[in-house]
Amino acid sequence: MVNILKHNDMGLIKEPLDVDFVVDPRPLTKEEENAISEFIKADKEKRLAKTKRVTKSQNELKN
């Protein structure tokens, strides 16, 4: 019988040598907040449009 609950060590994620991860602790300006919100909204609409399915009743309405 296989032990499906066995402990799995996750190990450390090594930071690439040529990449610096910098976090800017200052608060966002309203302009930056709006830019991020607009980007997220546009991306969400794009993803939803990509996965949108046409049902049989919608096809019948087109004809």
* Res 13: pLDDT: 74
Per-residue pLDDT tens over the stretch 11-59: 777 777 888 777 878 899 999 999 999 999 999 999 888 877 766 666 6
Residue matched to tokens 């009743």: 57
* Res 45: pLDDT: 92
* Res 12: pLDDT: 78
Q: What phi and psi, each to the nearest 5 degrees, are found at residue 9?
A: -70, 135
* Res 20: pLDDT: 78
Q: What is the C-alpha to C-alpha distance for residues 35 and 20, in angstroms, rounded to an integer?
A: 24
* Res 30: pLDDT: 97
Buried b (16+ CB within 10 A) or exposed e, 47-57: eeeeeeeeeee
* Res 59: pLDDT: 60
Q: What phi and psi, each to the nearest 5 degrees, are found at residue 37?
A: -60, -45
